[in-house]
């Protein structure tokens, strides 16, 4: 089905890609940059939160408590405040994210049989850090408290080992260490495929119009469908190369597991490309300049990055946004690629997503093809 | 008479509320050079684009060879070579890569395209530049490359939209030699649009376009003949004064500056009395007159007379 006209179109496109530094940067540098940025920076793993301590007791018991906080790597005790005012000042200035206040009679109460309260102040302006430090602080306090309780009972001659009636024993599947990169990197593959193919096809087609070369193409016997296919095949090839590039770096450098079948990954990525290429072609039929085309694609790209579950879980969104998220093909592909890489599932587990992507691909492609004309008006 | 290669009948095209082309009919025969002449915005480019099917007709019909451009578009286009007004080849490809691309999409096979491409590049004089990027060519060379790309499939019809605009005088000469040679030797039907009168006079037939219509159409000779005895040349000083005086005379249809002289179009039978009256007024008002005589009308006079008389 690849005839000589199509072959020369594709060959010409590749020559042009090779000679255009902007496209080369977009194809080679951007994916790697995104991969490293999102693999490292976009992490929810909160560690080493700076903590100020106001120890009004100075007993050995207080020191032991601080050691417990130090031991868990959630906190880094960076300041020893001498007054409540100083502690508040440190939080105000953002020097520390949280503060721990140990009251003056702490040692006596703990060493005796009394109970006491320690105060944990925290900066709630960043909810992610705040919620992590809150639960960490509570957990450390509780564990330490349980330990003291056990010691007291022993002291009173009770040899019975304290045991909680219910123990929750978590088993984390697929990503046992909860590494953010394992979640982000499959998403990066989805985003790169989507952004790159839609932007590049749109601009590649519009470029012919912008530079006037379309006028000469029109008078040749090239069919409109050949023109479209000749434009998208080079970018499909590049997209596949990019997918492999991100997969290899992800697996080798970030240790992202690739548990699914590689052929299936490529096949379903190809299915997803139908939608993104369709959007690119569609944008090219409405835009007159490459910039316009870029803008149109971005307008569809931006909401889909935020609403497709790339950064934020869809389940946590308000209902209305959840409904809207159904119109973004990226939503389905993200489910597919994450499941394929991390869970290693087969086609049957992804049936719904595959059906949705197929419908999207066919609808967008045929709408775009219908609008595509090989004429100037 | 040679075969009719382009037959446009009552063609019209509207953009928004403007008729870019309104009810034009024209014929171009094999081996004929037909010049479309007119100011910018007269509708020349739209006419060309309609004929090669880049734009869709609103009404009328166009037959190219024996093919209807709307219904048998591909067959029709296989006969056409088109050089657009704006450079429409790939600036990031070399001369040879451009030609090769258009040769291949026109259906030339691998062993056909190279000799044919070299042949054409030689014909237009670009063989020495075959590995240069098209974007690095001068304006004239770009146009030659455009012509070469349009010729690659040996078209029977060539549409050249202002091929020499922005081209130096020497290359313009070369270009017209090529056009004349193609028409005479290969029997190609040529439709050439141009804003230049000297180029128009090289065509076999000329159509004057204004506001989407062809006002007149004839051979350059016949057009010039139609003004015979009505065009006068006036030399003297100061020119602005002279111009004002002659313009005010009721029988002078228009007066047009031609460098250091003025061309007058006197519509009435130019009796000696009008000329004498003019000379007299000039001297009375302090001007000096060196020459006032009847001249052979030029194509430019025809063009201006059409525009000026139409405004009335």
Give the chain A residue nearest B153 (alpha carbons): A220
Pair A26, A113 in one domain = no
Could you tell me which residues of chain B have a Cβ less than 8 Å from any Cβ in chain A?
15, 49, 52-56, 74, 77-78, 80, 82, 84, 86-93, 97, 100-102, 104-107, 109, 149
Contact list, B142 vs chain A (CB under 8 Å): none
Pair A132, A201 in one domain = no
Q: Indicate the DSSP class of residue A27.
A: I
Q: Does residue A311 belong to any structural domain of this protein? A: yes
A122, A155, A188 - which closes a domain? A155
Mind listing the domains of chain B with CATH numbers? 4-224 (3.40.50.300), 229-295 (3.30.70)
Nearest to A15 among B52, B55, B93 (CB): B93
Q: Are A15 and B106 a contacting pair at CB < 8 A?
A: no
Q: Does residue A141 belong to any structural domain of this protein? A: yes
Does any CB of chain B come closer than 8 Å to the CB of residue A211? yes
Q: Find, among B79, B222, B73, B78, the residue nearest to B157 by Cα.
A: B79
Q: Are B91 and A211 a contacting pair at CB < 8 A?
A: yes
Instruction: Report d(CA B6, CA B192) in Å as an integer.
Output: 13
Nearest to A215 among B84, B104, B107 (CB): B84
Give the chain A residue nearest B98 (alpha carbons): A12
Pair A247, A362 in one domain = yes
Pair A214, A186 in one domain = yes
Nearest to B54 among A4, A213, A376 (CB): A376
Q: Does residue A220 belong to any structural domain of this protein? A: yes
Q: Are B84 and A8 a contacting pair at CB < 8 A?
A: no
Pair A39, A116 in one domain = no
Instruction: Report d(CA A297, CA B106) in Å as an integer.
Output: 33
Instruction: Report d(CA A167, CA A149) in Å as an integer.
Output: 18
Report CA torsion sign: A250, A251, A255, A260: positive
Q: Find, among A339, A336, A343, the residue nearest to A358 by Cα.
A: A336
B268, B251 in Cβ contact below 8 A?
A: yes
Q: Does residue A169 belong to any structural domain of this protein? A: no
A182, A256 in Cβ contact below 8 A?
A: yes
Residues facing residue A132 across a β-bridge: none
Contact list, A222 vs chain B (CB under 8 Å): 105
Pair A267, A360 in one domain = yes
* Residue B225: how many other CB atoms lie within 10 Å: 14
At residue A27, the pLDDT reads 83
Pair A236, A350 in one domain = yes
Pair A10, A127 in one domain = no
**Share above pLDDT 70 across residues of chain A, in percent, rounded to a whole number:** 97
Q: Find, among A105, A110, A9, the residue nearest to A58 by Cα.
A: A105
At residue A264, the pLDDT reads 93
B255, B246 in Cβ contact below 8 A?
A: yes
Contact list, A7 vs chain B (CB under 8 Å): 104
Whether residue B136 is predicted with pLDDT greater than 70 in this model: the reply is yes
Q: Are B54 and A213 a contacting pair at CB < 8 A?
A: no
Task: Give the highest mean pLDDT range of B66-70, B248-252, B253-257.
Answer: B66-70
At residue B237, the pLDDT reads 82
Pair A200, A329 in one domain = yes
Does any CB of chain B come closer than 8 Å to the CB of residue A2? no
Q: Does residue A165 belong to any structural domain of this protein? A: no
* Residue A88: how many other CB atoms lie within 10 Å: 15
Nearest C-alpha of chain A: how many angstroms from B200?
25
Q: Are A9 and B105 a contacting pair at CB < 8 A?
A: yes
Q: Does residue A226 belong to any structural domain of this protein? A: yes
Contact list, B102 vs chain A (CB under 8 Å): 216, 220
Whether residue B312 is predicted with pLDDT greater than 60 in this model: the reply is no
Classify residue A212 as left (phi > 0), alpha (psi -120 to 50) or beta: left
Tell me the pLDDT tens digit for each residue of B12-49: 999 988 899 999 999 999 999 999 998 888 999 999 99
Q: Are A8 and B80 a contacting pair at CB < 8 A?
A: no
Pair A29, A101 in one domain = no
Nearest to A222 among B54, B105, B109 (CB): B105
CATH of the domain at A96: 3.40.1710.10
Nearest C-alpha of chain A: how many angstroms from B55?
6
Give the chain A residue nearest B13 (alpha carbons): A377
- Tokens describing residue B171: 């290359």
pTM of the model: 0.80
Q: Which residues contact A286 (CB under 8 A, 6 or more apart)?
A: A292, A296, A371
Nearest to A4 among B84, B104, B149 (CB): B104
Mutation for B interface: A16, A215, A219, most B CBs within 10 A: A219
Q: Does residue A225 belong to any structural domain of this protein? A: yes
Averaged pLDDT for residues B97-110: 90
The mean of the pLDDT values for chain B is: 89
**Cα separations (Å) of B166 from A1, A319, B81, B177?**
43, 62, 21, 17
Q: Does residue A163 belong to any structural domain of this protein? A: no
Range of the domain at A353: 4-43+178-371
Pair A229, A332 in one domain = yes
Whether residue B244 is predicted with pLDDT greater than 70 in this model: the reply is yes
Q: Are A16 and B93 a contacting pair at CB < 8 A?
A: yes
Tell me the pLDDT tens digit for each residue of A224-272: 889 999 999 999 998 888 888 888 998 999 888 889 898 999 999 999 9
Nearest to B93 among A12, A217, A218 (CB): A12
Q: Find, among B73, B86, B201, B99, the residue nearest to B153 by Cα.
A: B99
ipTM confidence: 0.83
A101, A123, A155 - which closes a domain? A155
Tell me the pLDDT tens digit for each residue of A40-82: 876 666 778 899 999 998 888 889 889 888 887 888 888 889 9
Q: Are A16 and B84 a contacting pair at CB < 8 A?
A: no
Pair A272, A342 in one domain = yes
**Cα separations (Å) of A301 from A42, A191, A192, A369?**
19, 9, 11, 20
Q: Indicate the DSSP class of residue B63.
A: E
Instruction: Report d(CA B115, CA B96) in Å as an integer.
Output: 11
Number of separate domains in chain A: 2
Nearest to A5 among B53, B97, B105 (CB): B105
């Amino acid at each position: 089905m690849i005839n000589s006209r199509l072959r020369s179109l594709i060959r010409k496109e590749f020559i042009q890609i090779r000679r255009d530094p902007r496209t080369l940067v977009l194809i080679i540098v951007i994916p790697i940059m995104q991969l490293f940025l999102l693999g490292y920076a976009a992490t929810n793993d909160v560690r080493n939160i700076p903590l100020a301590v106001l120890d009004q007791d100075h007993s050995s018991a207080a020191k032991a408590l601080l050691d417990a906080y130090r031991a868990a790597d959630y906190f880094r005790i960076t300041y020893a405040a001498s007054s409540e005012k100083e502690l508040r000042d440190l939080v105000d200035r953002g020097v520390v994210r949280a503060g721990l206040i140990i009251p003056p009679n702490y040692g006596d109460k703990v060493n005796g049989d009394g109970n006491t309260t320690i105060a944990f102040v925290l900066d709630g302006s960043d909810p992610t850090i705040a919620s992590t430090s809150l639960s960490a602080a509570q957990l450390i306090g509780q564990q330490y408290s349980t330990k003291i309780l056990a010691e007291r009972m022993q002291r009173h001659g009770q040899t019975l080992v304290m045991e909680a009636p219910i123990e929750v024993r978590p088993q984390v599947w697929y990503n046992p260490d909860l590494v953010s990169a394992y979640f982000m990197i499959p998403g990066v593959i989805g985003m790169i495929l989507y952004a790159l193919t839609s932007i590049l096809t749109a601009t590649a087609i519009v470029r012919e119009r912008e530079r006037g070369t379309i006028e000469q193409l029109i008078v040749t016997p090239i069919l409109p469908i050949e023109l479209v296919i000749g434009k998208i095949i080079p970018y499909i090839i590049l997209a596949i190369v990019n997918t492999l590039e991100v997969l290899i770096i992800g697996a080798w450098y970030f240790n992202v597991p690739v548990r699914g079948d590689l052929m299936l990954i490529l096949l379903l990525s190809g299915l997803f490309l139908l939608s993104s290429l369709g959007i690119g072609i569609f944008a090219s039929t409405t835009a007159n300049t490459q910039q316009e085309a870029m803008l149109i694609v971005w307008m569809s790209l931006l909401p889909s990055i935020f609403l497709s579950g790339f950064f934020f879980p869809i389940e946590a969104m308000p209902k209305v946004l959840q409904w809207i998220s159904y119109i973004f093909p990226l939503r389905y592909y993200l489910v597919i690629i994450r499941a394929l890489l991390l869970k290693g599932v087969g086609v049957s587990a992804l049936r719904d997503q595959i059906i949705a992507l197929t419908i999207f691909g066919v609808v967008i492609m045929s709408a775009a093809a219908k609008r595509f004309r090989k004429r100037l008006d | 008479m040679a075969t009719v290669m382009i037959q446009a009948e009552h063609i019209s095209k509207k953009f928004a509320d403007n008729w870019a082309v309104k009810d034009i009919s024209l014929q171009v025969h094999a081996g004929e050079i037909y010049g479309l002449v007119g100011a910018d915005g007269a509708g020349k480019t739209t006419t060309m684009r309609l004929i090669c099917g880049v734009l869709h007709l609103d009404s009328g019909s166009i037959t190219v060879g024996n093919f209807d451009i709307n219904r048998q578009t591909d067959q029709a286009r296989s006969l056409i070579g088109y050089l657009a007004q704006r450079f429409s080849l790939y600036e990031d490809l070399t001369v040879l890569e451009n030609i090769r691309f258009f040769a291949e999409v026109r259906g030339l096979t691998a062993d056909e395209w190279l000799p044919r491409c070299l042949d054409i590049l030689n014909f237009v004089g670009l063989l020495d530049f075959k590995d240069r990027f098209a974007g690095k060519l001068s304006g004239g060379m770009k146009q030659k490359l455009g012509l070469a790309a349009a010729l690659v499939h040996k078209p029977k019809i060539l549409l050249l939209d202002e091929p020499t605009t922005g081209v130096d005088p020497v290359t313009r000469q070369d270009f017209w030699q090529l056009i004349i040679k193609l028409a005479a030797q290969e029997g190609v039907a040529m439709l050439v649009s141009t804003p230049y009168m000297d180029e128009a006079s090289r065509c076999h037939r000329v159509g004057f376009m204004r506001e989407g219509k062809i006002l007149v159409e004839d051979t350059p000779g016949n057009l010039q003949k139609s003004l015979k005895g009505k065009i006068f040349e006036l030399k003297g000083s100061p020119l602005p004064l002279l111009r004002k005086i002659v313009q005010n005379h009721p029988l002078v249809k228009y007066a047009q500056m031609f460098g250091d002289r003025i061309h007058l179009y006197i519509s009435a039978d130019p009796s000696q009395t009008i000329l004498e009256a003019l000379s007299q007024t000039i001297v009375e008002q302090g001007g000096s007159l060196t020459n006032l005589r009847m001249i052979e009308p030029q194509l430019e006079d025809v063009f201006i007379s059409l525009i000026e008389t139409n405004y009335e």
